[in-house]
Chain A
Amino acid sequence: MVILETKGLTRRFGDFTAVDAFTIAVEAGEIFGLLGPNGAGKTTVIKMLITLLPPSEGIATIAGLDVVRDAGKVRAVIGYVPQMLSADGSLTGYENLIIFARLYDTPHAERKERVRQALAFMGLTDAADRLVNTYSGGMIRRLEIAQAMLHRPPILFLDEPTVGLDPLARDTVWEHIQRLRTDYNTTIFMTTHYMEEAESLCSRVAIMHLGKIAAIGTPSDLKASIGGPNITMDDVFAHYAGGTLESGEGFRETERTRRTARRLG
């Protein structure tokens, strides 16, 4: 069953086309990775899918709901973990979860149990009553994923979920993302810069370049498509995404990414 579908999704900012005729179909239960160099349009695609940015052209549906026409209902069936750190450091882990459980209309009778389960699932039970500003980077990311999962959405959007994390914390986050799929059959739509992450986690990946999809398929298919022995995903990425020095995100995005990395570090 297709849970996410886009047809000719386009976003323009003035004369600049950030995303150009983006067309994909994601099956339920897939972990779909969106790769691309900085400024390729990955975050713009996610923002359109999560209803934060209206598309200039094209359509996108999530669980059969149009992201423009049924924006309010789409928000009820998705979970989103932004690239920036979004957990509130002035609240405890438990409070962060209970607040979002209410905002996501989690039934009152189940709310506390869901929060308890989410904390246990992410291995944060012992730290539940600590202020989030005392958490490590990996713990904050796990808490954010727990926040986005409280209402059991069929699809979860992760925007560079492991940016700025050390290898150990990254492994833990990967493990939890995989468990979300196996335990809850959650569809994951994620962007990443890490090729090893895409290769080990994603069932399919799309590589974006200059706002367009340059290639799409399973990691092994993509490796096979450029042929040759000992091909890695880095080679695939370099082949499809090019490597021009002109490409890259803007000053503000770079500043945010670095700030996030600093906070996580």
Chain B
Amino acid sequence: MDSFFLSIGVTLCIMMLLALYRAISGPTAIDRIMGVNVIGTKTTILLVLIGTLYHRVDMFVDIALAYALLNFIVTIGASRYFQHHKNLKARGYGYRFRAEEDK
């Protein structure tokens, strides 16, 4: 059962790396907030998985709960900050060359 949970955790880490692509090269700022939110939810579950692997879930479940609270507050605060930015520009690594093509 331990190797099963280990493989599930490694697969979750790979999916977090894939979601990190959206968090780095999202066209607008709110796409990046969305990517960070998805990574945070995956991290909450990964913490409980790590606790199951170490047979210390009673310690890791508190960390996971605190991480879920922190992730929620970060998402709410960042999205309130960007709420009234008119004309969010699509900028970033993936869009540097595409903007030149549009001109």
A and B pair up: no
Chain B: residues with CB nearer than 8 A to chain A?
Answer: none
